Copies of this chain bind each other. A is one copy, B any other.
């Protein structure tokens, strides 16, 4: 927990917050904060700054926020399309995506997705948010990614140009693919400000699915020589984007 994220429900008044859950434990027992010490905090979907520990009660702590400022906008904007993985994998995908600044996550059906995954209690918003917030706290980000669940593959892909209508042509659309020979570099020369990534299920998208993505402009790219598990493929493609950004600067 590199950033303590504060929610509206924690707020007592304008600047005062009260915590009683694992965040209070973390502040007291991991950070070993004492009264008057400050810790780094962020307001959900809001500013970042510090909070001064003003009270340690029996089962809660009180904080007063200070030195708040708007977080840096995250560029490029990254949206992730991911074939719905099994719940244990989804938790990791949510956390790493939120940690690395993905803005919107689309969880979609695909041929190799087990139908039962759509019934998982993990897909309830409060459960999804738990893993997103874990990732945000790790990556020191305050913006909660959105998650949308799409249980029909073909309409979702076909409607992508309309969904991203204002910028679809200039959008960098990446389809990590084991058989691809080109790397991200080949498609990154214009330094796009918006990237859309489509990650398949374990075993990959079936040919029809990969072709449909390509028909709406996705370009197959290689993530390297290894066949990666879904959560590692997400980490790898986001890492490749980070490296391209650093090479630009």
- A residues with a Cβ closer than 8 A to B are 2, 96, 99-101, 138-140, 183-185, 222-229, 232, 235-236, 238-240, 242-243, 245-247
Q: Which of A225, A226, A229, A242 gathers the greatest number of chain B CB atoms within 10 Å? A: A226
Q: Which 4 residue pairs of A and B lie closest in terms of their CB atoms, listed nearest first?
A: A224-B242, A183-B246, A236-B239, A239-B239
**Closest CB of chain B to A80's CB: distance in Å?**
14
A138 contact set on B, CB distance < 8 A: 226-229
A235 contact set on B, CB distance < 8 A: 232, 235-236, 239
Cα–Cα distance between A241 and B225 once the two chains are bound (Å): 11
Among residues of B, the one whose C-beta sits closest to the C-beta of A229 is: B138
Cα–Cα distance between A228 and B231 once the two chains are bound (Å): 14
A225 contact set on B, CB distance < 8 A: 101, 242, 245
Instruction: Please tell me which one of the listed residues B222, B227, B238 contacts residue A139 in the complex, with CB atoms under 8 A apart.
Output: B227
A227 contact set on B, CB distance < 8 A: 2, 99, 138-140
Given A236-B235, A236-B242, A240-B239: A228 touches B185 (CB 8 Å cut-off): no
Q: Which of A99, A227, A238, A243 gathers the greatest number of chain B CB atoms within 10 Å? A: A243
A222 contact set on B, CB distance < 8 A: 246
Among residues of B, the one whose C-beta sits closest to the C-beta of A243 is: B240
A245 contact set on B, CB distance < 8 A: 224-225
A239 contact set on B, CB distance < 8 A: 223-224, 235-236, 239-240
State whether B185 touches A246 (Cβ < 8 A): yes
State whether B246 touches A224 (Cβ < 8 A): yes
Cα–Cα distance between A99 and B228 once the two chains are bound (Å): 8
**Closest CB of chain B to A139's CB: distance in Å?**
4
Cα–Cα distance between A80 and B193 once the two chains are bound (Å): 34
**Closest CB of chain B to A89's CB: distance in Å?**
12
State whether B2 touches A247 (Cβ < 8 A): no
Instruction: Please tell me which one of the listed residues B2, B96, B238, B243 contacts residue A184 in the complex, with CB atoms under 8 A apart.
Output: B243
**Closest CB of chain B to A193's CB: distance in Å?**
15
Cα–Cα distance between A75 and B139 once the two chains are bound (Å): 32
**Closest CB of chain B to A124's CB: distance in Å?**
24
State whether B139 touches A226 (Cβ < 8 A): yes
**Closest CB of chain B to A142's CB: distance in Å?**
14
A96 contact set on B, CB distance < 8 A: 232
